[in-house]
Amino acid sequence: MYKSINLSLFILLLPFLAISQNSNDYNKKIDNLLSQMTIEQKIGQLALRGTSSRVKGGLSEEFKQMIREGEAGAILNVMKAEQMAELQKIALEESEHGIPLIFARDVIHGFKTIFPIPLGLAASWDSSTAYDCARVSSIEASSIGIRWTFAPMLDISRDSRWGRIAESPGEDPLLASVLAKAYIDGFQNEFKDNTSLLACAKHFMGYGAAEGGRDYNTVYMNEALMRNIYLPPFKAAIEAGALTVMSSFNEYNGVPASASTFLLKEVLRDDLAFDGFVVSDWNSLTETIPHGYARDERHAAELAFKAGLDMEMTSRAYENHLKTLLENGTIQMADLDIMVANILRTKLRMGLFDAPIPKDNSATLYYKNAHLEKAKEAAIKSMVLLKNKNDILPLNSSKKIALIGPLADAPHDQLGTWTFDGEKEHTITPAHYFQEKTDQISFAPGLTFSRDRSTHGYADALNKAKASDLIIFIGGEEAILSGEAHSRANIALPGKQEELLKELKSTGKPIVLVIMAGRPISLTNIESYADAILMAWHPGTMGGPALYDVLTGIREPEGRLPVTWPKSAGQSPLYYNQKNTGRPADSTSFVQMYDIPLGAWQSSLGNNSHYLDDGFTPHYPFGYGLNYSSFIYSELDLSTNKISQSDSLVVSIKLTNTGNRQSTDLVQLYIQDVVGSITRPVKELKDFQHIKLDAKTDTEVKFVIYPDQLTFYNNDGEKCLESGMFNIWIGPNSASGLKSSFELFD
């Protein structure tokens, strides 16, 4: 008996023993290397060298010599397989200690086969979609020797003006955390083989909270907001094993994030127990100078070093100054050794020391059918149906269609932001695919690109519209209008798209509006022109086939909004998990600006928190999206109305598919902690499930709520679980659902 217990305990402990054996081996190797490396070689490991796009032509002798001398730990944007192989060979065979290089690239939502933009992937609310994107990206990128991607971007975004909302996982910490884990699993794949990419959780920290949605801008954040909203996806990524983190460009409460001891040591290392390495963003270390935090480059190196920033991307403050700072005693060798060890340990864990120099096998992997299929599936799962008047969708196949709009045949733009390597020649556009599938379609773009202000194409578009039964208008934004440094103060359709839509409306033909964009678009001026509205984001390589399947009803649009959709930019930032305020907006007292009686007395309208013009509700709430079927939620039931702090609670609902086709609904569970020691949001997403149901069938959907899901962080950064009343909703989005409540007691 005693023996068998010991044996099973031993078997249970085996994986942990193996890990600690590995880490012992790693430590020995690291100590051994550190004892032999010169100061210059150590500083070299902290350098991420590269170019802004790619090395053109051959590699310079100077570049190769830098590797030979051990003056770089990683290389960015060298994109030819043979060049990476040559540099790695130099590092392994000609540098003194044979330490391998990590080759890095921004592989954000696909390498060659491009998936929907990350905000679109978030709209799938589906971890396997995010996983597939990361896995396919890794397989394609690693085929030429890339082993590190600067993804996933995990900045919570509440502001549609911010260009980088396109790269984000949306506004909700739970959804972003689920996606974070899936991306890390897909990229790193537990470093099982050489198709794994080192992932990089970015941008640490608070980058999405920049004032006014202006990129790189100032962030003021308190502990509670950071720990409840912005930190959870990073925590999830680190728990999933993310081995690198990128520090952000923004300042955070007056200190640039790339030189913030609080963020990089206290939060990241101490609280999240991160044991990989931190890389700066592009020059973000030396940007501490224009921020007004560092006096000069040497001071910048000192501040970032002391804050615990391990690797410097592109700027050269460490290379230029760390040696002097060590020699004059400003910084210590022991701290340098910790940083070098962080980088070496990561290289060991990802198996880089043992990895053979890659042979280019990209030819068999780029745009493989299986990859294209996954990209198509992801595009379908990301599309969100916002409006479907009189069930105009799915399309009736006998209808003659006029396909119009600047994004209908925009192979580059439908790939979206951050697609350095996807080739537009491989993109299948709607215009191309629809015309191949049916002769019921005639195509006239009307406008040739999203910002086009010429009316030259109108006549052709209007003629084709008049000769058809229905118009599909594919509009939106070119890829360049979202992404880094591409914020907009006005988020309406650019160019003359609104005007063209108005002209098309005058033909009397029904209009299906498909939007391809990197952010929610203000629909205030055009919503009434469209009978159906479908958000396709920038859908990637397979956008055309995916859209065809969705519009014709072969598939359903399965996406749900991962961000609140504002009526106008002026409503931003706008998010569902807002605070109630002391004077919450209220439809019974709200008077729209044009309904205010002339000469109305100052406080005659009530004093609540709203805009006189755009009110207080969004155009579409977080979590929203329609099906081609219809669902009814009924019989909300709680296993008990009182739980102790160690109990759990089962909540269930009856979901009925009342429509005529099989369909999937996203059942969402929200809670509200009614009274807290600090005020709590009006709603918080706590769980969700995709439920597929045949036509005219129902099922019971159950969730279990554990006390841990009811906790929050207070202004001192302490985790709290407070007794009291909680409201609970189960429904199809954040603005509707059945409501009940329960009490948590001590």
Cite the active site residues. Answer: 281
- Of 85 and 313, the one with the shorter C-beta distance to ligand NOJ is 313
Pairing of strands 642-644, 532-535: unpaired
Paired strand residues for 244: 200, 277
* Residue 522 DSSP class: B
User: Cβ(216)–Cβ(250) under 8 Å?
Assistant: yes
Q: How many CA atoms lie within 13 A of 354 on its CB side?
A: 10
The residue nearest ligand NOJ at its CB is 150
Q: Among candidates 583, 743, 566, which has minimal Cα distance to 671?
A: 743
Smallest gap from residue 371 Cβ to ligand NOJ (A): 23
- Of 54 and 399, the one with the shorter C-beta distance to ligand NOJ is 54
Smallest gap from residue 373 Cβ to ligand NOJ (A): 28
177: its two tokens: 């955390």
User: Cβ(537)–Cβ(382) under 8 Å?
Assistant: yes
Question: For residue 731, how many other CB atoms are within 10 A of its CB?
Answer: 19
Smallest gap from residue 533 Cβ to ligand NOJ (A): 31
Smallest gap from residue 282 Cβ to ligand NOJ (A): 4
Query: DSSP labels for 688-702?
Result: EEEEEE-TTEEEEEE
- Of 70 and 73, the one with the shorter C-beta distance to ligand NOJ is 73
- Of 150 and 187, the one with the shorter C-beta distance to ligand NOJ is 150
255/213 Cα distance (integer angstroms): 19
Smallest gap from residue 486 Cβ to ligand NOJ (A): 12
- Of 248 and 672, the one with the shorter C-beta distance to ligand NOJ is 248
Q: E-strand spans in 122-233?
A: 148-149, 200-204
- Of 310 and 549, the one with the shorter C-beta distance to ligand NOJ is 310
Burial of 101: CB neighbours in 10 Å, binned 0-12, 13-18, 19+: buried
Question: Using CB under 6 A as the criterion, which residues of the chain lie in contact with ligand NOJ when the complex forms?
Answer: 106, 150, 202, 281-282, 484
- Of 484 and 637, the one with the shorter C-beta distance to ligand NOJ is 484
E strand or H helix at 441: strand 441-444
Q: Among candidates 151, 114, 118, which has minimal Cα distance to 136?
A: 114
Smallest gap from residue 200 Cβ to ligand NOJ (A): 7
Smallest gap from residue 484 Cβ to ligand NOJ (A): 5
Tell me how far the alpha carbon of residue 193 is from its chain's centroid: 26
- Of 202 and 683, the one with the shorter C-beta distance to ligand NOJ is 202
239/272 Cα distance (integer angstroms): 8
- Of 281 and 673, the one with the shorter C-beta distance to ligand NOJ is 281
Tell me how far the alpha carbon of residue 86 is from its chain's centroid: 34
Q: Among candidates 475, 413, 468, which has minimal Cα distance to 438?
A: 468
User: Cβ(29)–Cβ(351) under 8 Å?
Assistant: no
User: Which whole-number Å values give the CA distances from 239 to 149, 200, 228, 233, 577, in the listed order?
Assistant: 18, 13, 17, 10, 25
Q: Among candidates 67, 66, 97, 69, which has minimal Cα distance to 85?
A: 67
166/478 Cα distance (integer angstroms): 12
Smallest gap from residue 312 Cβ to ligand NOJ (A): 13
| Peptide bond connecting 371 to the previous residue in cis, omega within 30 degrees of 0 | no
